[in-house]
């Protein structure tokens, strides 16, 4: 058969399985008669019901069961489709198609060794509804030579839906509309390793919208809308043979994000990542059906190395879709500020590869297995996971990092490293108590013996350029402890996060979670060598109920219905995390109702540091420094409503325990109990403890503390100010007199990680302060009640390298 006939048969088999049977009788002579004529129109009706489709790899198989294709609205009927086939003047085959609303679904995914009717735990089912209209052109000649093929495609999908189902509960995206266009080449290539299938998509573009995110418990609730527009390039090399046995697949891929714009909308307010560019590549990714170390079969996905580099030009919060569209079109912005409400830009670099941490080897492998959380039912997915994110690869250091740029000034979280292993489960659940486990409406992500850790070497501050990595490592990440971000953290996690639909009002998301951290070691402050203040022997039990996530005009709003936690630190150590000197044991219990967090675009803006004034002149007169920190930045507004105690775990208390004071070295405690907030009237409790934390990267005044050379050998006198320059060290010290003579030098002050915080409350009460000794029958009460009222404090901290 010649290439024209082969292309026709191949293309039609890709478009519809039923067409292959209709076209196999076309030989070369008949094809020559087709060429140059007006074409062939094929009208088909497709209704398919397949019990099982299985793939076997070295004797182990994955089965897709209960496969059905039908009309989307009435599954008893077939879906209709029309294909118009033409041979173009250049000899290419053109297929125009129009497919009526169709539903493709399967009920179960199973793994096993038997064929025909595989049994055992199920991974659950998926469904896809779509209406398609488009065009596919196939011609001879690929990217590597004339023996390949080139496919050009453009299509529009409307009325789409995609969902996942377990135990009769479904979580899905609906109202999916997509317009896409692509060019793909297909060749067989050869290199030193052997032959491979070469797949290239030099230009893959599209735009999509998702009308709603739904859960079957209440289909009137929506998790919001999605929108995206993309321009991608991909090169893939596909080979036979995997990592285990003699069969399987091996993939190498090089991918470029030419541009991606993405946004999530909630009741007319949107957050978005705009102007995303970058790349992601994988080396020696293998797919096998194979058993894990416990003998459970799954789809084993492993790779030797994966690297990714992303740039988000603008991360916007609390915008409208019309303003986002106007910005992308280059049109003037109306209905709000002159600029988009952006926190700035973000750059991310990640390298995943093998490493050893504390004598344990970690790699990157994921077993996708059937069966989720045991009490959730037979259906569900389980990922037996091991991951390894490295901060050094070969001779390169700091290969994994995250950089935040604010008005042209950047701070890099340097030396990211993470590792771990454990099981992640996925189920679609309905609220109820089953087998002693409480379930909630939504898609449940579970964690079982999920042990791992991460660390950050520190911060590097400067301009976002090639020199940023050369800046000195400095502290400052501990300033983010108020947001629950630790510089380093080891943990074993068990529990779940369940994501439901519907926010505080209208669209949005609802979160319920129970997470128990054991064997934890969290750094409250640590340098790149791991020395600092460590919370070790950490047992942290955290519960969230009806926490809503919404996009508002202000930004991203997170409101907790009820939350409680117990953090038990067996030793608070100074030094290293293993044998540093201990301050003793600390227990922190928290119980809150109606607490909230709002993440807003924009940092401190214009601010008087070290003084109290609303303008530059007043600031200078009060002894402060007037700083204009720009439009970008991040402000996080926290409100913690500390509620009255209702049980031993649902209460606010702080306990410090030390050993000593007796011949048996027994522990003694001091307990601050039943800590609550109040609106000052003794009745209401809505104001809470409020914190506004504004984060910027900005210049700051750094004064030398002593005479002589610093750690870099730069000489200066006590009281001199540090000023950036083009010397080898990158800075010098300048006297007060020189600054007065050259005021412009102030613009060369060093950059720092700047955090401005305002803390306020109307009333903070302590129910009692007690001492507890194990030999005493009753605690000894030192204070029967204490209140602090009408506190309002503002602080400004800027972290720079110590020299």
Positive or negative: CA dihedral 575, 578, 584, 586: positive
Q: What are the DSSP calls for 710-770, one per residue?
A: -TTS-EE-TTPEEEE-SSSSSEEEE-HHHHHH-GGGGGGPPEEEEEEEEEEEEEEEEEEEE
CB 752 within 8 A of CB 461: yes
Task: State both tokens at 676.
Answer: 């609550």
Burial of 68 (0-12, 13-18, 19+ CB in 10 A): middle
User: Which pLDDT belongs to residue 15?
Assistant: 47
User: Which pLDDT belongs to residue 153?
Assistant: 97
3-state SS, 184-195, equals EEEEEEECCCCE
User: Which pLDDT belongs to residue 477?
Assistant: 67
The angle subtended at Cα 142 by Cα 140 and Cα 146, nearest 5°, is 60
In angstroms, the CA 771 to CA 333 distance is 62
The SS3 call for residue 468 is: helix
User: Which pLDDT belongs to residue 479?
Assistant: 65
Q: Strand 79-87 vs strand 40-46: parallel, antiparallel, or unpaired?
A: antiparallel
**Could you tell me the residue ranges of all domains in the chain?**
1-131, 449-455+474-479+489-697+754-799, 701-749
Q: Strand 458-463 vs strand 169-190: parallel, antiparallel, or unpaired?
A: unpaired
Nearest-CA neighbor of 289 among 525, 56, 43?
A: 56
First vs last C-alpha separation in the chain: 77
In angstroms, the CA 57 to CA 64 distance is 15
Contacts 24+ apart (CB under 8 A), 5-14: 5/31, 7/92, 7/93, 7/138, 7/139, 7/140, 7/149, 8/85, 8/93, 8/138, 10/138, 10/149, 11/93, 11/95, 11/136, 11/138, 11/151, 12/83, 12/85, 12/95, 14/136
Residue with tokens 């935040």: 404
Nearest-CA neighbor of 502 among 274, 245, 213?
A: 213
Taking 3-state DSSP, the helix, strand and coil percentages for the chain, each rounded to the nearest 5, stand at 10, 60, 30
CB 198 within 8 A of CB 144: yes
CB 366 within 8 A of CB 301: yes
User: Which pLDDT belongs to residue 796?
Assistant: 86
Q: What are the DSSP calls for 355-375, one per residue?
A: EEETTEEE--EEEEEE--SGG
CB 803 within 8 A of CB 712: yes
Stretches where the chain sits below pLDDT 50 are 1-26, 30-36
């Amino acid at each position: 058969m010649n290439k024209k006939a082969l292309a026709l048969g191949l293309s039609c088999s890709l478009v519809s399985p039923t067409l292959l049977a209709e076209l196999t009788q076309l030989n070369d002579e008949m094809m020559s008669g087709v060429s140059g004529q007006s074409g062939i129109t094929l009208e088909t009706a497709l209704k398919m019901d397949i019990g099982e489709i299985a793939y076997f790899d070295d004797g182990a198989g994955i089965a897709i069961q209960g496969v059905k294709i039908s009309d989307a609205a009435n599954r008893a009927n077939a879906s209709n489709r029309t294909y118009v086939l033409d041979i173009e003047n250049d000899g290419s085959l053109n297929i125009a198609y129009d497919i009526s609303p169709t539903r493709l679904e399967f009920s179960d995914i199973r793994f096993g060794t038997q064929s025909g009717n595989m049994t055992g735990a199920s991974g659950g089912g998926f469904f896809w509804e779509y209406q398609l209209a488009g065009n596919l052109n196939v011609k001879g000649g690929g990217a590597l030579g004339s023996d390949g093929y080139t496919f050009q495609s453009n299509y529009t999908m409307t009325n789409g839906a995609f969902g996942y189902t377990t135990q009769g509960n479904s979580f899905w995206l609906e109202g999916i509309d997509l317009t896409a266009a692509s060019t793909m080449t297909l060749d067989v290539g050869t290199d030193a390793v052997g032959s491979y299938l070469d797949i290239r998509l030099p230009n893959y573009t599209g735009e999509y919208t998702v009308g709603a995110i739904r859960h079957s418990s209440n289909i009137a609730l929506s998790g919001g809308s999605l929108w995206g527009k993309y321009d991608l390039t991909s090169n893939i090399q596909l080979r036979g043979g995997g990592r285990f046995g003699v069969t399987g697949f091996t993939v190498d891929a090089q991918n470029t994000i030419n541009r991606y714009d993405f946004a999530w909308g909630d009741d007319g307010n949107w957050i978005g990542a705009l102007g995303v560019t970058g790349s992601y590549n994988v080396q020696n990714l293998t797919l096998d059906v194979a058993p894990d170390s416990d003998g459970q079969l799954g789809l084993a996905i492993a790779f030797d190395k994966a690297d990714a580099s992303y740039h988000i030009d603008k991360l916007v919060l609390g915008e409208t879709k019309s303003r986002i569209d106007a910005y992308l079109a280059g049109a003037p912005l109306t209905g709000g500020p002159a600029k988009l409400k952006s926190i700035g830009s973000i750059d991310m670099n990640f390298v995943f590869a093998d490493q050893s941490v504390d004598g344990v080897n970690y790699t990157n492998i994921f077993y996708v297995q059937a069966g989720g959380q045991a009490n959730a039912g037979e259906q569900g997915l389980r990922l037996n996971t091991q991951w390894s994110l490295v901060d050094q690869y070969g001779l390169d250091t700091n290969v994994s990092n995250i950089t935040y740029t604010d008005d042209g000034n950047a701070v890099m979280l340097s030396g990211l490293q993470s590792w771990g292993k454990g099981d992640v489960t996925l189920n679609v659940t309905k609220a109820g108590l089953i087998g002693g486990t409480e379930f909630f409406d939504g898609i449940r992500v579970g964690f079982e013996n999920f042990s791992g850790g991460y660390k950050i070497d520190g911060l590097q501050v400067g301009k976002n350029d090639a020199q940023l990595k050369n800046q000195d490592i400095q502290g400052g990440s501990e300033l983010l402890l108020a947001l629950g971000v630790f510089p380093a953290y080891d943990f074993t996690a068990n529990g779940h996060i369940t994501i439901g639909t519907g926010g505080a009002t209208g669209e949005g998301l609802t979160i319920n979670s129970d997470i128990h951290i054991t064997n934890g070691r969290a750094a409250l402050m640590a340098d790149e060598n791991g020395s600092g203040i460590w919370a070790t022997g950490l047992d942290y039990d955290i519960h969230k109920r009806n926490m809503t996530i919404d996009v508002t005009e202000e930004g991203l709003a997170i409101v907790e219905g009820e939350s409680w936690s117990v953090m038990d630190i067996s030793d608070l150590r100074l030094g290293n995390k293993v044998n540093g000197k201990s301050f003793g044991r600390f227990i922190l219990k928290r119980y809150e109702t109606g607490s909230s967090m709002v993440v807003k675009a924009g940092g401190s803006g214009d601010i008087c540091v070290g003084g109290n004034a609303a303008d530059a002149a007043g600031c200078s007169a009060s002894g402060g420094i007037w700083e204009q920190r720009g439009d970008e930045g991040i402000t996080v507004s926290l409100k913690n409503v500390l509620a009255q105690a209702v049980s031993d775990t649902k209460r606010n208390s702080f306990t410090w325990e030390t050993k000593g004071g007796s011949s048996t070295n027994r522990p003694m405690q001091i307990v601050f109990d039943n800590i609550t907030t109040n609106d000052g009237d003794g009745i209401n409790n809505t104001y809470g403890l409020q914190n506004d934390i504004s984060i910027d990267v900005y210049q700051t005044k750094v004064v030398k503390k002593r005479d002589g050379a610093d750690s870099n050998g730069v000489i200066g006198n006590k009281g001199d100010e540090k000023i950036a320059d083009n010397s080898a060290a990158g800075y010098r010290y300048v006297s007060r007199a020189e600054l007065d003579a050259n005021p412009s030098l102030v613009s060369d002050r060093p950059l720092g990680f700047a955090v401005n915080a305002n803390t306020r409350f109307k009333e903070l009460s302590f129910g009692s302060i007690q001492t507890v000794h194990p030999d005493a029958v009753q605690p000894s009460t030192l204070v029967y009640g204490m209140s602090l009222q009408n506190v309002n404090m503002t602080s400004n901290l800027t972290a720079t390298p110590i020299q």
